[in-house]
């Protein structure tokens, strides 16, 4: 399994010389069906620098580790985690990457809060205490969606790969148009100015399933949000 995290770095040399994009790295790992040992060896053997910063969370049946990529040096790897969770967000976890982090202090703090929230929720579930029975996709999604810091207004979808059962659980943010009379009703019930109600609707703060078809345009609109669940079976076909 390959997860990708944007990791904004200050280095720009990757755009000024022949380099490898993160997309190319991810496609190689996915299409090549690498296990962890193969992936680490391939990344360590790259003869060209990376174009820009990213972090990968790689997992197979032997465990998981995170690797942080940047244009100024070789990939940095964490220790292999097996039987205990490994949690990351969009800030560096490894010492060699910290100095080149290019986001603002506020962005770093937001990322650290998201990570801390997930770690705390995992601890409450007992997973930090050591190997546990199989943690399924539905339980993993429950951890993610249980906090507005993690699943916030910018989140488009939440995914959980249940490799034990061969399932991918997805909850997708669907937008359903809010009609004029519904906006007026919200103004009346909430006793708020229409401008504030419309701001909440356009930001995706109001959850409601109207049964209507989802909006397929990315343009701003007064809308309700429905988190639509899907389950896909993973196989080799």
Q: Give per-10-residue mean pLDDT for the chain (237 aa).
A: 82 72 92 94 90 87 89 88 86 84 84 91 70 74 87 91 86 96 96 96 95 91 96 78
Look at residue 119 and tell me if it is in a domain: no
Q: What is the pLDDT of residue 44?
A: 94
Domain boundary pick from 49, 80, 98: 98
Domain boundary pick from 78, 98, 118: 98
Structure tokens at 180: 């004029």
Residue 7 to residues 31, 67, 72, 161, Cα–Cα distance (Å): 23, 11, 14, 22
Domain interval for residue 94: 2-98
Instruction: Tell me the pTM.
Output: 0.76
Q: What is the pLDDT of residue 96?
A: 82
With CA atoms as reference, report the closest residue to 58 among 69, 49, 48, 47.
69
Look at residue 162 and tell me if it is in a domain: no
Look at residue 200 and tell me if it is in a domain: yes
Q: What is the pLDDT of residue 11?
A: 67
Q: Clarify whether residues 94 and 178 are in a common domain.
A: no
Q: What is the pLDDT of residue 126?
A: 67
Look at residue 187 and tell me if it is in a domain: yes
Look at residue 208 and tell me if it is in a domain: yes
Q: How are beta strands 54-60 and 76-77 bridged, if at all?
A: unpaired
Look at residue 129 and tell me if it is in a domain: no
Q: Clarify whether residues 92 and 7 are in a common domain.
A: yes
Question: Where does the chain have alpha helices with state H?
Answer: 22-31, 36-44, 95-98, 105-124, 137-145, 180-190, 194-203
- Work out how many domains the chain is built from and give that number: 2
Look at residue 9 and tell me if it is in a domain: yes
Domain boundary pick from 37, 71, 98: 98
Look at residue 223 and tell me if it is in a domain: yes
């Amino acid at each position: 399994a390959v997860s990708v995290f944007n990791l904004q770095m200050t280095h720009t040399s990757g755009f000024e010389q022949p380099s490898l994009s993160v997309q190319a790295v991810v496609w190689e790992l996915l299409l090549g069906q690498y296990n962890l040992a193969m992936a680490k060896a391939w990344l360590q053997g790259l003869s060209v620098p990376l174009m820009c910063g990213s972090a990968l969370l790689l997992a197979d049946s032997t465990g998981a580790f995170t690797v942080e990529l940047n244009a100024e040096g070789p990939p940095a790897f964490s220790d292999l985690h097996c039987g205990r969770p490994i949690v990351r967000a969009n800030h560096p976890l490894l010492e060699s990457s910290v100095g080149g982090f290019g986001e603002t202090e506020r962005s770093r703090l937001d990322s650290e809060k998201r990570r801390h929230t997930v770690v705390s929720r995992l601890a409450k579930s007992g997973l930090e205490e050591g190997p546990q029975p199989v943690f399924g996709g539905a339980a993993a999604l429950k951890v993610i969606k249980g906090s507005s810091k993690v699943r916030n207004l910018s989140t488009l979808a939440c995914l959980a790969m249940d490799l034990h059962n061969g399932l991918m659980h997805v909850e997708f943010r669907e937008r359903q148009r809010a009609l004029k009379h519904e906006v007026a009703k919200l103004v009346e019930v909430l006793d708020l100015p229409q401008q504030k109600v419309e701001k909440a609707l356009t930001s995706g703060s109001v959850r409601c399933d109207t049964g209507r078809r989802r909006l397929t345009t990315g343009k701003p609109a007064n809308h309700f949000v429905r988190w639509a669940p899907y389950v896909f079976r993973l196989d080799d076909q």
